[in-house]
Structure 1
Amino acid sequence: MKLFFPLFLSFFLSLSFSRVLSQSTFEQQVKEYENVDLNQKVKLFFEFNEGFTIEDEDSVLYYINDLINEGLKADNENAIAMSNFGLSKYLLNQSLFDEASSKLDRAIKHYSKVRNDTMLSVCNNSYGNINLLQGLFGKAEFYYKKSNDFANKANNKEFEMLSNFNMCRIYLNRKEYEKAEQNLEEYISFLMKKGDMRKLAAAYGLNGQIYLDQQKLDLAIHNFTLSMESGLSAGNMNAVANGYTNIAIADYYLGEYDRSEQYFKLALAYRKKDGKKFYIAEGYYNLGDFYSGISKFDSSAVYYKKSIAIAEESNNLQGKLDGLIQLSNIYETLEEKDNQIETLKEMIETHKVIAKEQSYNEINALKRSFVQSEKEAIRTGGIREDQLFGKVEKYQSIFNSWMWLVLACILAFGVFVIVFRIKKRKHS
């Protein structure tokens, strides 16, 4: 069962960092984007950007490129800053932490100049996420608190609450459960007043994790149930599936294996209903873990194989590799050496493909980052060249004015000398 917890934690990471929109609102805003002016595009991109998943990279890059190109054309620094903010998330998904930070720095520089406290809160929250994903909890805490300060300045309760929610993760890591519970209680109260069921699903889920970490299993199950119900109310099938998965994990620790099995199967059913193959593969994988945990190795192998097949079908190579690793362990336990050898061979090949693809993705992401930086540098260089040319013209104009003044003075002096000499001759 050791692999339950990474899956469990990934659920909270994926939900809590985003400002989640309903699917209908998301689709409406994406459609609206094509028919509005640049300033409105910036606002819409900020709203719907978080609705994209890792699978939607091409779509994300389309909007980022549109913002940078239109922003450079119109000399709109707000659009350029927003494109940097969007690109930082894309780079973060590629685990390019330094590049992601660099893009955030560019965005923060602009938002500091125009004193946009709301976007400074958002950017610092993203900085907190970057550090949290690297396990740098002290730095993450620093940026979450900074985000909170800017949210207070902007009088933006939503972002203030978001940074508080993310701080709960820090407190959980330090086992400061009381602080985490206090923050979550305030956050849940805020979301209930707003009626934001999607975010409530994540909040109750994290609360359940806090209780699970303390072995308060009944309270954990209660919060996971609330998480599932909130997801159901919001029509978010993936949140419902996550809720059932977490209840299944808690029941497993209670020794309620029959009930745990049913919840894992319910979670899989909702993942199928949602239709996203990445999560369907995860659902089969969880069942493989469950049956392995109760020593039903034949059943475990069946579910791992299904997970591997769906992961391969959807080009989820990491999911495929994870399944192969577990399947290899099952064959070792069952002493099926031939099957284990074949599985190990496939693991090696899959790992090679992952390494190759990861290198390609990283190079591609770095290339995109460089191209955007180059465009900005050319723009900045162009502005400086224009400014320099303007200064030259200004100085040339001043020089010309002085030159005419000097000539006028010389001419006047010449006239004065001539007049003076004429008068002198007359007197002689």
Structure 2
Amino acid sequence: MKLFPLYIFFFCINFSGYSQDQPVESETMIKAFFKEDFNDYFQVQHYFNKTQFGKGEIDFLLEKSKGSKNILGKIYSYTLLGRYYRNKTTYEKAIENYLNALNLSREFKKVNAEIVVLNQIGVVYRRQDKIRSALNYHQFALELVNKIPNPTKDIKISKSVCENSIGNIYLKLKQYKLALEKFEKAIVTQQELQDKRGLAINHQNIGFAYQNLEKLDSALVNYNKSLQYNLENKSRIGKVICHNSISNVLILKGEYKKALKYIEEVKVLSEQIGNKFYISRIYNTLGYCQIKLGKLDEGKKNVNKSLSISLKHGIPTNTNKSYEYLSEIYRLKRDFEKAYVFYKKSIVGTHKTFNDRNILYVNNLINKYDNEVKNNKIKSLAKENEITKLKLTRNRNILIIALVSIALFGVLLYAIYGQRLLSNDKKILVLEQEALQNQMNPHFVFNALNSIKLYIINNEQKNAVYYLNKFSKLIRSILESSKTKEVPLSDELKTMNLYMSIENIRFSNEIVYHENIDEGINLDKVKVPPLILQPFLENAIWHGLSSKKGIKKVSLSVLKVSNDFIQIDISDNGIGREEALRIKKNKSLKRKSIGIELTKQRLQNFTDEFKNCYSLVYTDLTDKNNSPAGTKVSLKIPLS
């Protein structure tokens, strides 16, 4: 049994409910607040850190803040209201108040407040399983945090919250090992800052990851550490979460009586807190313990109570779990018709949630690389601007030096000018090459990325994970190679192998790709421009093989033709260049391809410093009947 996470909704909870025995202290603290001169949101947080707020106290603070035009007081009041309604499971009102706080933070440029509020809005959306919105708000917060130089302790804590949220997204996607990597990095910062609340949250998250990896003893160790931190912090809601998690692990270990004892200890406490999300979780776990102990009627009563709460307040993960437990009850009662009905409801709900998250995961990657494309375009424009400035500077220097040389220094100044001219020309060549690479990399990435989406849409999860892993290796290779002017041929061939395996998805893996490397060549010593072979492989696939029927083959050969050259041949058994050109002319949508032209320019720049030049030859292949049988591209690259 794998349970849905409780950890996700544990962020930003640092106070318990309003206590009726301390209203004077709260009112006194609020009145004293307006005599202070705070200019930072974190100062306000620390000031009210141990103050207990009920709805009346929050309204009083908001009213006083509005009257005195205290911006930080208003922002803090709205965040308290947002948290109050969030804990009451009134999510629309929670979002409304958080947005009021967010708008004030942005209007008056209170960046620290904005970071905190963005994270809290993300918590509300995650509680409703609206992962896309939650992810956006946590990413906005992380972007703001990363822009702050010399971060304070509070900013470091906020960054830890953001990073934990990314780990939680991995948990939602069932990527438990990736999530553990995030949490173990975040916990270092929390230990350094002695952030007990953050440590409680992180150990809860780590425990959940181990639980789903079926490492139950490790899960219990981390859940108990989280419980200890929550007891030290006197966090009642933290205690509820930890008891529920520990009880779930004990159920998995078959220790049902012990699990029942743990969950019964916090049933009343969860009711006192009044948070419908956790009340629903507690009654689900309580009912499941009773089911395992054979108390089916009691278990059914508690599971139905949980189901009623989760349906009323829109908590899909709890609803799906309740359906699963009701199916188990009716199965044990041998009422298989009802058992099937509830089992089907559970499966349909869980499948929809998980499938939506997988689509989100890929869409998030696409959004990320959309931003990369935009950034690369900006870099290209900046470099082109710099090239223009260099050319203008060069032309200006020509005129100045010519005039001065005629009047004063003649040949001497002309020689100096010549040196400067060569230096400027070299800079121009380097900048032009970088501009070309910035345009090539996003183009290459998207040709690969868009091929993966079909598996996700069709919910072929194993294939999706397999090709996502290949895709991550491909992206890492592209990003590493884009920083250099040249790469070893061995690295280029590995990248092309990844590219071909991903492009082959769209052909249902019908393309047979083969490499033939001359044993006398040391691939690590041969240097080539990064991604230089990709356009030729792309042409072979999309112009040569896409319209071909039957067996599709692409081969890549590397031969040492002399001491000065190696030759790379890329052959396909496609329809041939003539037929491909005819198909292209008949298409209604005309699109000019610039990939090969850019590749030629890059090869020219690359070989300018060599004593030999590159050569590129196309050969039309034919069969014994002299019919088109494919195309071969031969690229000779100088070694010196």
Which TM-score band (shorter chain)? 0.5 to 0.7
Matched, 1:119 2:113: yes
Deviation track 1:108-154 (CA, whole Å, cap 9, x = no partner) reads 33323433221010121123223323433233222212212333426
Task: Give the letter for the 1:141 counterpart.
Answer: L
Task: Give the letter for the 1:201 counterpart.
Answer: A
Partners of 1:78 and 1:232 lie apart in 2 by 31
Matched, 1:36 2:40: no
Matched, 1:87 2:85: no
Matched, 1:212 2:208: no
Aligned to 1:163: 162
SS in 2 for 1:145: helix
Matched, 1:202 2:236: no
Give the counterpart of 1:147 among 141, 147, 151: 141
Deviation track 1:49-102 (CA, whole Å, cap 9, x = no partner) reads 89999xx8xx23x23322332233223333333333333344545666565545
Task: State the 1:48 CA deviation.
Answer: 8.6
Deviation track 1:21-48 (CA, whole Å, cap 9, x = no partner) reads 8999x96973642441426599787459
Would you say the 8 A contact 2:288–2:303 is kept in 1? no
Task: State the 1:193 CA deviation.
Answer: 3.2
Would you say the 8 A contact 2:16–2:235 is kept in 1? no
Q: CA RMSD in A?
A: 4.8
Give the counterpart of 1:5 among 3, 9, 14: 3
Aligned to 1:64: 58
| TM-score, scaled to structure 2 | 0.40
Aligned to 1:361: none
Mean Cα displacement is larger for which, 147-156 or 324-333? 324-333
Task: State the 1:196 CA deviation.
Answer: 3.8
Task: State the 1:265 CA deviation.
Answer: 0.7
| Pair 27,247 (structure 1): closer, same or farther in 2 beyond 3 Å | same
Q: How many residue pairs end up in the alignment?
A: 317
Matched, 1:269 2:269: no
| TM-score, scaled to structure 1 | 0.57
Matched, 1:17 2:12: yes
Task: Give the letter for the 1:177 counterpart.
Answer: Y
SS in 2 for 1:135: coil
Partners of 1:244 and 1:160 lie apart in 2 by 28
Name whichever structure is richer in helix by fraction.
1
Matched, 1:290 2:286: no
| Pair 162,249 (structure 1): closer, same or farther in 2 beyond 3 Å | same
Would you say the 8 A contact 1:12–1:202 is kept in 2? yes
Output aligned runs, 1:235-384, within 5 Å: 235-236=234-235, 239-240=238-239, 242-253=241-252, 256-257=253-254, 259-269=255-265, 276=272, 286-292=285-291, 294=292, 296-297=293-294, 299-302=295-298, 334=333
Aligned to 1:225: 224
Deviation track 1:171-226 (CA, whole Å, cap 9, x = no partner) reads 21233434422321132223333434344222111111112223333332332232
SS in 2 for 1:5: coil
Partners of 1:101 and 1:127 lie apart in 2 by 7
| Pair 271,121 (structure 1): closer, same or farther in 2 beyond 3 Å | same
SS in 2 for 1:69: helix
Partners of 1:275 and 1:250 lie apart in 2 by 23
Task: State the 1:269 CA deviation.
Answer: 3.0
Aligned to 2:388: none
| Pair 71,13 (structure 1): closer, same or farther in 2 beyond 3 Å | same
Would you say the 8 A contact 1:245–1:264 is kept in 2? no
Partners of 1:236 and 1:94 lie apart in 2 by 17
Give the counterpart of 2:132 among 127, 138, 141: 138
Deviation track 1:145-171 (CA, whole Å, cap 9, x = no partner) reads 221233342641111111111221112
Task: State the 1:251 CA deviation.
Answer: 3.7
Query: Gaps spanning 5+ residues in structure 2: where?
Result: 339-640
Aligned to 1:374: none
Task: Give the letter for the 2:12 counterpart.
Answer: F
Partners of 1:216 and 1:125 lie apart in 2 by 30
Partners of 1:205 and 1:275 lie apart in 2 by 22
**Percent identity between the two aligned chains:** 17
Partners of 2:57 and 2:142 lie apart in 1 by 28
Task: Give the letter for the 2:170 counterpart.
Answer: Y
Would you say the 8 A contact 2:240–2:269 is kept in 1? no
Partners of 1:52 and 1:66 lie apart in 2 by 14
Which structure has more relative contact order (CA 8 Å, sep 6+)? It is: 1
Partners of 2:187 and 2:175 lie apart in 1 by 18
Partners of 2:47 and 2:173 lie apart in 1 by 33
Partners of 2:322 and 2:132 lie apart in 1 by 36
Would you say the 8 A contact 2:11–2:123 is kept in 1? no
Partners of 1:99 and 1:266 lie apart in 2 by 33
Partners of 2:330 and 2:175 lie apart in 1 by 41
Would you say the 8 A contact 2:65–2:74 is kept in 1? yes
Task: Give the letter for the 1:149 counterpart.
Answer: E
Name whichever structure is richer in strand by fraction.
2
Would you say the 8 A contact 1:272–1:280 is kept in 2? no
| Pair 135,86 (structure 1): closer, same or farther in 2 beyond 3 Å | same
| Pair 81,272 (structure 1): closer, same or farther in 2 beyond 3 Å | closer
Partners of 1:306 and 1:48 lie apart in 2 by 41
Aligned to 2:555: none
| Pair 140,49 (structure 1): closer, same or farther in 2 beyond 3 Å | farther
Partners of 2:90 and 2:305 lie apart in 1 by 29
SS in 2 for 1:36: helix
SS in 1 for 2:32: coil
| Pair 77,39 (structure 1): closer, same or farther in 2 beyond 3 Å | farther
Partners of 1:172 and 1:151 lie apart in 2 by 23
| Pair 50,168 (structure 1): closer, same or farther in 2 beyond 3 Å | farther
